[in-house]
Amino acid sequence: MKNLVIAGREFRSRLFIGTGKFGSAVTMSRAIEESGAELVTVALRRVDLEKAPDEDPLISHLDPTRVVIVPNTSGARTAEEAVRIAKLARAAGGFEWVKLELTPNLHHLLPDPIETFKAAEILVKEGFHVLPYINADPVLAKRLEEIGTAAVMPLAAPIGTNLGLQTKAMIEIIIQNARIPVVVDAGLGLPSHAATAIEMGAASVLINTAIASAKDPVKMARAFAKAVEAAEEARDATPREARSTATASSPLTGFLWEGKQ
Amino acid sequence: MTIQVNGKQQVVAEGVHTVEELLESLGVKAKGIAVEINGEILSFDQLNSVQLCENDQVEVIQFVGGG
């Protein structure tokens, strides 16, 4: 099987993991480790100065020699805010990758396509590897590809809903037309959802809530890893098309009742 | 001297002049964080050279879990 390549970096696993909502940093790092994921997302927030200093920051649980750490711009409502967050992330950790996430409406958390496009243009010029989180809009995906984003990340369903591939038909069009990797993000709730996305030709999937909020996140991470791997192998094996009439798997000759009156 | 840190007014303790000293007085370790003063992001080696001024707007940010 061919490894996935994004922005010149090779990934052995097509499963990416978001680091939010885990009960503990130890659970998070075990889930990442056991899943074999080689790309993880993180967020950036103000240090809470009211609380005791954080002796055990999240970032110290992630090994940058093993995983690509991709800060997101969550919380940004405008292109300007997203660019600011990306630059802060670069200053804090030296990270050149950014998941562009611009969700002005906190109720549905759907991405703002106009601000996302504006921010992508700026960040690509600044030399970032830009992974924009977008609605499953094939036209927007193509426009982003044209300005040089490293991938596109269309949503399957609103963030954290576990609803699965609600945007399947649109994601299929995006995949058919894309010359950059398509990472299906947000809303995938079960390993079968992730497998379907990979079988459809998605380059990879990004999972957070479905793993982090499972009762056993480490086990769920393994389950997603297996599903993604199985789907990748199936895709590689070239499945035959579905059809609406039966074709027998067993011979249609030599039946026991043949020749009887 | 009074400055704003992460959106809150803060009276700077005596003997605190640089950003590095401010972080120390707040108990914040300089690893894995970023600091912005009046909208300008500071590089790591600027932390001990940039002097704080009255009414400075300081942002101290860190990485947290996120999807």
Query: What's the number of domains chain B is made of?
Result: 1
Q: pLDDT for B26-44, tens place per residue? A: 888 767 788 999 989 988 8
Apex A37 CA angle, A130 and A197, nearest 5: 75
Which residues in chain A have their CB less than 8 angstroms from residue B44's CB?
A: 91
On the 0-12 / 13-18 / 19+ scale of CB atoms within 10 A, A29 is buried
> What is the ipTM for the molecules in this complex?
0.89
Neighbours of A3 (CB within 10 A): 11
Does B12 map to a domain? yes
Q: Tell me, yes or no, if A168 is annotated catalytic.
A: no
Res. A205: pLDDT tops 80? yes
Q: What is the mean pLDDT of residues A241-256?
A: 91
Does B67 map to a domain? no
Q: Which residues pair with A43 in a beta bridge?
A: B64
Contact B41 A88 (CB under 8 A): yes
Does B20 map to a domain? yes
Residue B22's domain spans which residues?
2-62
Residue A179's domain spans which residues?
10-47+56-236
Whichever domain contains B44, its CATH number is 3.10.20.30
Mutation pick from A29, A42, A46 vs chain B, by most beta carbons of B within 10 Å, is A46
Does A201 map to a domain? yes
Which strands, in side-by-side order, build the sheet including A129-134?
A97-100, A129-134, A153-154
Query: What's the number of domains chain A is made of?
Result: 1
Q: pLDDT for A78-91, tens place per residue? A: 999 999 999 999 98
Taking CA–CA distances from A100, the nearest residue in chain B reads B67
Does A254 map to a domain? no
Whichever domain contains A207, its CATH number is 3.20.20.70
